Amino acid sequence: MIAEKQASQAVAEILGHYKKEKKNLIPLLQEVQTKLGYLPRKALQEIADFLEMPEVEVWGVATFYNQFRFVPLGKYHTVVCMGTACHLAGGRLILEALERELSIKVGETAEDGNFSLERVACIGCCMLAPVVVIKDKIHPKMTPFKVEEALIPYKQEAQGELKEGKSKSKS
Protein backbone atom coordinates (compact mmCIF):
# COMPACT_ATOMS: atom_id res chain seq x y z
CA MET A 1 0.00 0.00 0.00
CA ILE A 2 1.24 3.45 -0.83
CA ALA A 3 1.87 5.65 2.16
CA GLU A 4 -0.85 8.19 2.85
CA LYS A 5 1.30 11.21 2.19
CA GLN A 6 2.46 9.91 -1.16
CA ALA A 7 -1.12 9.08 -2.06
CA SER A 8 -2.24 12.62 -1.26
CA GLN A 9 0.52 13.99 -3.38
CA ALA A 10 -0.43 11.77 -6.29
CA VAL A 11 -4.08 12.82 -5.99
CA ALA A 12 -3.14 16.50 -5.86
CA GLU A 13 -1.07 16.10 -8.98
CA ILE A 14 -3.96 14.45 -10.84
CA LEU A 15 -6.40 17.12 -9.64
CA GLY A 16 -4.07 19.74 -11.08
CA HIS A 17 -4.84 18.50 -14.61
CA TYR A 18 -8.59 18.92 -14.28
CA LYS A 19 -11.05 21.78 -14.29
CA LYS A 20 -13.34 22.13 -11.28
CA GLU A 21 -16.30 20.74 -13.18
CA LYS A 22 -18.65 18.08 -11.92
CA LYS A 23 -18.57 16.23 -15.22
CA ASN A 24 -14.93 15.39 -14.49
CA LEU A 25 -15.82 13.29 -11.46
CA ILE A 26 -15.75 9.90 -13.19
CA PRO A 27 -12.54 10.51 -15.22
CA LEU A 28 -10.95 11.74 -11.97
CA LEU A 29 -11.97 8.65 -10.05
CA GLN A 30 -10.65 6.50 -12.90
CA GLU A 31 -7.30 8.23 -13.01
CA VAL A 32 -6.84 8.14 -9.23
CA GLN A 33 -7.67 4.45 -9.15
CA THR A 34 -5.27 3.72 -12.01
CA LYS A 35 -2.56 5.52 -10.05
CA LEU A 36 -3.25 4.12 -6.57
CA GLY A 37 -4.79 0.78 -7.44
CA TYR A 38 -7.92 1.58 -5.47
CA LEU A 39 -9.85 4.54 -4.06
CA PRO A 40 -8.84 5.27 -0.48
CA ARG A 41 -11.31 7.21 1.62
CA LYS A 42 -8.91 10.12 1.85
CA ALA A 43 -8.69 10.42 -1.93
CA LEU A 44 -12.47 10.56 -2.20
CA GLN A 45 -12.49 13.37 0.37
CA GLU A 46 -9.89 15.26 -1.59
CA ILE A 47 -11.80 14.84 -4.84
CA ALA A 48 -15.01 16.02 -3.15
CA ASP A 49 -13.25 19.11 -1.79
CA PHE A 50 -11.76 19.86 -5.17
CA LEU A 51 -15.08 19.62 -7.01
CA GLU A 52 -16.86 21.42 -4.17
CA MET A 53 -19.46 18.74 -3.80
CA PRO A 54 -20.58 16.73 -0.76
CA GLU A 55 -18.40 13.72 -0.05
CA VAL A 56 -21.50 11.54 0.10
CA GLU A 57 -22.26 12.41 -3.51
CA VAL A 58 -18.80 11.32 -4.58
CA TRP A 59 -19.31 8.04 -2.70
CA GLY A 60 -22.71 7.70 -4.35
CA VAL A 61 -21.16 7.85 -7.79
CA ALA A 62 -18.07 5.80 -6.93
CA THR A 63 -20.04 2.92 -5.42
CA PHE A 64 -22.47 2.90 -8.34
CA TYR A 65 -19.97 1.73 -10.93
CA ASN A 66 -18.38 -1.71 -11.06
CA GLN A 67 -14.97 -0.36 -11.96
CA PHE A 68 -14.27 1.30 -8.61
CA ARG A 69 -12.68 -0.49 -5.65
CA PHE A 70 -12.24 0.67 -2.10
CA VAL A 71 -9.73 -1.89 -0.89
CA PRO A 72 -6.30 -2.50 -2.36
CA LEU A 73 -5.99 -5.47 -4.66
CA GLY A 74 -3.80 -8.42 -3.91
CA LYS A 75 -0.45 -8.88 -5.57
CA TYR A 76 -1.96 -11.69 -7.60
CA HIS A 77 -5.32 -10.29 -8.52
CA THR A 78 -7.53 -13.10 -9.72
CA VAL A 79 -10.56 -12.45 -11.90
CA VAL A 80 -13.12 -15.10 -12.65
CA CYS A 81 -15.39 -14.57 -15.62
CA MET A 82 -19.05 -15.16 -14.87
CA GLY A 83 -20.38 -14.34 -18.32
CA THR A 84 -23.03 -16.49 -19.93
CA ALA A 85 -20.67 -18.73 -21.87
CA CYS A 86 -18.47 -19.26 -18.81
CA HIS A 87 -21.49 -19.93 -16.63
CA LEU A 88 -22.78 -22.58 -19.01
CA ALA A 89 -19.37 -24.22 -19.04
CA GLY A 90 -19.27 -24.42 -15.24
CA GLY A 91 -18.13 -20.97 -14.10
CA ARG A 92 -19.77 -21.41 -10.70
CA LEU A 93 -17.61 -24.45 -9.97
CA ILE A 94 -14.50 -22.49 -10.91
CA LEU A 95 -15.47 -19.65 -8.59
CA GLU A 96 -16.10 -22.13 -5.75
CA ALA A 97 -12.77 -23.80 -6.40
CA LEU A 98 -10.95 -20.46 -6.29
CA GLU A 99 -12.65 -19.48 -3.05
CA ARG A 100 -11.68 -22.81 -1.58
CA GLU A 101 -8.10 -22.72 -2.80
CA LEU A 102 -7.46 -19.11 -1.81
CA SER A 103 -9.49 -19.22 1.42
CA ILE A 104 -11.13 -15.90 0.56
CA LYS A 105 -14.58 -15.02 -0.69
CA VAL A 106 -15.21 -13.23 -3.94
CA GLY A 107 -14.63 -9.48 -3.52
CA GLU A 108 -12.04 -9.97 -0.79
CA THR A 109 -8.30 -9.52 -0.56
CA ALA A 110 -6.37 -12.05 1.53
CA GLU A 111 -4.88 -10.74 4.78
CA ASP A 112 -1.32 -11.25 3.61
CA GLY A 113 -2.11 -9.12 0.55
CA ASN A 114 -1.12 -11.81 -1.92
CA PHE A 115 -4.37 -12.83 -3.54
CA SER A 116 -7.60 -11.02 -4.25
CA LEU A 117 -10.61 -12.48 -6.00
CA GLU A 118 -13.10 -10.67 -8.19
CA ARG A 119 -15.95 -11.78 -10.45
CA VAL A 120 -16.68 -9.94 -13.67
CA ALA A 121 -19.68 -10.12 -15.96
CA CYS A 122 -17.77 -11.00 -19.13
CA ILE A 123 -14.27 -10.52 -20.40
CA GLY A 124 -15.30 -11.36 -23.94
CA CYS A 125 -13.21 -14.36 -24.88
CA CYS A 126 -16.09 -16.79 -24.89
CA MET A 127 -14.28 -19.34 -27.04
CA LEU A 128 -11.99 -20.07 -24.08
CA ALA A 129 -14.76 -20.55 -21.49
CA PRO A 130 -14.56 -20.92 -18.57
CA VAL A 131 -11.84 -18.36 -18.08
CA VAL A 132 -9.80 -17.20 -15.09
CA VAL A 133 -7.37 -14.28 -15.24
CA ILE A 134 -4.53 -14.34 -12.71
CA LYS A 135 -2.29 -11.29 -12.64
CA ASP A 136 -3.41 -10.35 -16.18
CA LYS A 137 -2.63 -13.78 -17.59
CA ILE A 138 -5.58 -15.57 -19.11
CA HIS A 139 -6.07 -19.20 -18.13
CA PRO A 140 -8.44 -20.82 -20.63
CA LYS A 141 -10.87 -23.74 -20.35
CA MET A 142 -10.56 -24.14 -16.61
CA THR A 143 -11.73 -27.01 -14.44
CA PRO A 144 -11.69 -27.11 -10.63
CA PHE A 145 -8.62 -29.33 -10.84
CA LYS A 146 -6.82 -26.98 -13.22
CA VAL A 147 -7.53 -24.09 -10.85
CA GLU A 148 -5.44 -25.82 -8.23
CA GLU A 149 -2.61 -26.32 -10.73
CA ALA A 150 -2.75 -22.78 -12.09
CA LEU A 151 -2.37 -21.27 -8.65
CA ILE A 152 0.70 -23.29 -7.67
CA PRO A 153 3.38 -21.06 -9.31
CA TYR A 154 1.86 -17.91 -7.81
CA LYS A 155 1.60 -19.48 -4.36
CA GLN A 156 5.19 -20.64 -4.61
CA GLU A 157 6.35 -17.21 -5.70
CA ALA A 158 4.50 -15.61 -2.80
CA GLN A 159 6.00 -18.07 -0.34
CA GLY A 160 9.48 -17.70 -1.77
CA GLU A 161 9.33 -13.96 -1.28
CA LEU A 162 8.08 -14.45 2.24
CA LYS A 163 11.07 -16.64 3.09
CA GLU A 164 13.45 -14.25 1.39
CA GLY A 165 11.99 -11.38 3.38
CA LYS A 166 12.40 -13.28 6.62
CA SER A 167 15.99 -14.23 6.00
CA LYS A 168 16.76 -10.63 5.08
CA SER A 169 15.24 -9.32 8.27
CA LYS A 170 17.27 -11.85 10.23
CA SER A 171 20.52 -10.78 8.67
User: Which spans of this chain sit near other proteins (rule: CB under 8 A)?
Assistant: 21-27, 29-30, 60-61, 64-68, 82-85, 87-88, 90, 93, 96-97, 100-101, 120-129, 131, 138, 140, 143-145, 148
Q: Name the residue nearer to other proteins (CB basis): 65 or 162.
A: 65
Q: What's the closest the beta carbon of residue 137 comes to other proteins, in angstroms?
A: 10
Q: Least separation, in Å, of the C-beta of 120 and other proteins?
A: 8
57, 66, 98, 138, 154 from 118: Cα distances, Å: 25, 11, 10, 14, 17
3-state secondary structure of 132: strand
Please say which residue, 74 or 91, places its beta carbon nearer to other proteins.
91
Closest to 109 (Cα-Cα) out of 77, 79, 82, 138: 77
* 151, 134 contact by CB (below 8 A): yes
The span from the CA of 31 to the CA of 25, in Å, is 10
What is the smallest separation between the CB atom of 48 and other proteins, expressed in angstroms? Answer: 13
Of the two residues 60 and 165, which places its CB atom closer to other proteins in the complex? 60
Which C-beta is closer to other proteins: that of 7 or that of 129? 129
What is the closest distance, in whole angstroms, from the C-beta atom of residue 165 to other proteins in the complex? Answer: 30
Question: CA-CA distance, 52 to 48, in Å (whole number)?
Answer: 6
